[in-house]
Structure formats: structure tokens, C-alpha cells
Amino acid sequence: MVSNKAHCWLAIPAILIILTISMQGKTSVSKQAFGHTSDGTAVDIYTLADGKVEARVITYGGIIVSLRTPDRNGKLDDVVLGYDSVDQYIAQTPYFGAIIGRYANRIAHGSFQLDGKTYSIPKNNGDNALHGGIRGFDKVVWTAQQIKDGVELTYVSKDGDQGFPGTLTTTVRYTLEGGALRIEYAATTDKDTVLNLTNHSYFNLAGQGKGDVFGHVVKIDASRFTPADASQIPTGELKPVEGTPFDFRTPHAIGERINADDAQLHLGKGYDHNFVLDHAQGQLTEAAEVYEPTTGRILRVLTTEPGVQLYTGNNLDGSITGKEGRVYKQFFALCLETQHFPDSPNHPNFPTTELKPGRAFHSVTVFQFEAGTR
């Protein structure tokens, strides 16, 4: 609700408001229409700007449509892949920028057991369920309300939705402050269920659609990763990264080892693997850092989650035309999906993804943007 005092401020010329926000480092939040789904449901777009970074989020899929950040010279550019219209997001599904749920990543054979009962999720990735099934959280319209420094999105997934048990109420808050986009997830259920939430932004710190990410220098705080089989399902092993192309404990460019003669890289057609973070689960700690040398842009990823999936856009093939008419080819982006591990319901040795009634799920991930010279 807008107060009478706020109405007075609305009478001030817009340019003055913008200058005031820039000088004080405050975050502005605005809402506009972004189109409709095929059934006529309205989709809105929220723009968050803190004088340094601008983030735009739509209510369809909770998608981060754009992230404009400065390079070392102060030049702004959009650093995430996406589309210009809601129709394109609905028609194509690379999960650009979306909230992923109920279960991010893969569930083997679309099946898991909970409390002695077997549950089946629609298979949409060969013999596996990927990112919550055929109609996951990326394909629904979320209820939105403006909050301080951002927007809060809510979605109620009914008992049996995509085969998952329990009515699940999920809230995701996007807030922007000091060049950091904070994503806060919360959820409750009325029946035992499983849950794994993430954001699936595709980053190219040189600018969206501007070439491959081979020059991006990546550091990940992980001594182990979860090897996968030919269908990208974890084998259950927590394998040390030492001596492998998966050792990013010290910074390495993506292109340095992506074509190495390594069975895991061959199976994934590049990096598409979950890294077991070294920090204690539940503590908001830096998990990964990406540096793009031509622009000086730096992305730091902080999370409370136990894992992060590094994906290098292996399945982009040039068939997608994204924002500003730019064609997205293989390796034109990388994702850092903070998460619990893939197929955890079928691996008792992995951190549990079970959520019970009376308990609240809570997770935080932060995308911090900086720029400089190294």
C-alpha cells in the first residue's frame, strides 16, 4: 500500500527520483505488464535498480529476464540469457533464469520412495524427471507483491502436482542492494514430501549472446563432486576433484580443460555436474566466483545450499534466438545452480531433501556483482 507521504513523492519529477536513488544507493522497484499466458493470465515484470545493478523479474516462472551490471569502465550490459517476450518463454524450455521446483535437477526413472510409498514424476528427460517434471515451477504464474528492495513471489503447489506428495506453499524473495541480488526461498508442506529449489540463470559476463564462456575464470569451493552416468544421474560416489578437470579450488578458465579426455566431460558434453561444497550446510558462504577478463566483471555466488551445479550451456545449439535477436550457441553461457544434490531421494548418503509438516524450508543464494582488474 502506498502512503499519503509516498503519493507526495510521486509528484516529484521522475528524473529527480532517479538521481536521488542513485546518490543514496537506495533500491527502486517498479511493476509493468509483460503479456499474458495462453489462458489469459496476466504476467507482470518487476524492475529492481540500486544505482549499480538492474534486475528484471517476471511472474511467469519467477524468471530473471535480465541483469544489467557495469564492467570495469562502468559500461552496463545484460549478463543473462533470455527472451524478449513471455510467449517465447512459454514456447521454449531451456529454463532461462527460472525458479526450478519442486525438484531441481534429475530424479532417476522419475521415481522415488518416501515413507514406504513409491511416487512417480512425469519423465521429461529420457527415462528421468528433470526440474520438477513436465510442468514445474518454471511454467506457472506466481503471485507477486512488492517488498522493500524487491519482490516476493508465492506459489501453492497442490497435493499430487506432478506426482509429488503434499500441498506445498513456496515463497521466493528477490531483493537487490549494493550490487547483490539476494534470492531467499521458503516453503512449508502439509504432508511429507521432497523439495529442491534453485534459480537457473545462464550467465555470460561479457554480455548475453556475446560469444562462448571459455575465457570465464571459475573458482568453486568444492573438494568433491558427484560423478554421473550416461543419463546424468549420480552414481552415488562423492569423488575427489584433485587431479581431475573438476578441480576449481584454484581458478581455471572454463576453456582450459573442458575438452580434456575425461569420461565425465564426454558424458556431459562439457561441465554439467554437481559440486559438493566444502562449507557447512546452512551457512551463507561464498561457494563460487567467476571472472571475465575482457570486461572485468566478477560474479560471486554465496549460498546456504550443500551443492552447486556447474553447467556450461552444452545443449545450446544455435537454434534459439534470444534477446535483441542474438543467437545462443553451445557454451555461450554458464549456470551455477545452488542446490541439494541430484536424485537425492534415491541416495540415502546424500543430504536429505525431505520436508515434513510443521517444519519450514529456508535457503538463501546471493549473486554479488563487482568489476575490476586482475
- The CATH number linked to 116 is 2.70.98.10
Alpha-helical runs (H) found in 191-322: 254-257, 263-268
Q: How far apart are CA 222 and CA 316, in angstroms?
A: 26
User: 19 pLDDT band (50/70/90 cuts)?
Assistant: very low
Establish if 20 belongs to a structural domain. Answer: no
Q: How far apart are CA 67 and CA 53, in angstroms?
A: 7
Whole-prediction pTM? 0.93
Establish if 3 belongs to a structural domain. Answer: no
Q: pLDDT for 179-224, tens place per residue?
A: 999 999 999 999 999 999 999 999 999 999 999 999 999 999 999 9
Q: How far apart are CA 345 and CA 115, in angstroms?
A: 11
Establish if 13 belongs to a structural domain. Answer: no
pLDDT value at position 265?
A: 98
Q: Which residues are catalytic?
A: 200, 337
Q: pLDDT for 89-117, tens place per residue?
A: 999 989 999 999 999 999 999 999 999 99
Residue 256 domain boundaries = 28-371
Establish if 6 belongs to a structural domain. Answer: no
Looking at the structure of the chain, the number of domains it has is: 1
What does 78-117 look like in DSSP terms, one character per residue? E-B---SSHHHHHH--S-TT-EE-SB-SEEGGGEEEETTE
Establish if 4 belongs to a structural domain. Answer: no
Q: pLDDT for 308-326, tens place per residue?
A: 999 999 999 999 999 999 9
Percent of the chain, pLDDT > 90?
92
Q: How far apart are CA 124 and CA 108, in angstroms?
A: 11
Establish if 179 belongs to a structural domain. Answer: yes
Please answer whether residues 189 and 322 qualify as being in contact, where contact means their C-beta atoms are separated by less than 8 angstroms. no
Phi, psi for 191 (deg, rounded to 5): -150, 150
Please answer whether residues 183 and 199 qualify as being in contact, where contact means their C-beta atoms are separated by less than 8 angstroms. yes
pLDDT value at position 13?
A: 34
pLDDT value at position 25?
A: 57
User: 374 pLDDT band (50/70/90 cuts)?
Assistant: confident
Coil, strand or helix: which one is 21?
helix
Q: pLDDT for 139-169, tens place per residue?
A: 999 999 999 999 999 999 999 999 999 999 9
Establish if 18 belongs to a structural domain. Answer: no
Nearest to 207 by CA among 56, 72, 77: 77
Phi, psi for 53 (deg, rounded to 5): -120, 145
Q: pLDDT for 27-59, tens place per residue?
A: 999 999 999 999 999 999 999 999 999 999 999
Establish if 155 belongs to a structural domain. Answer: yes
pLDDT value at position 93?
A: 87
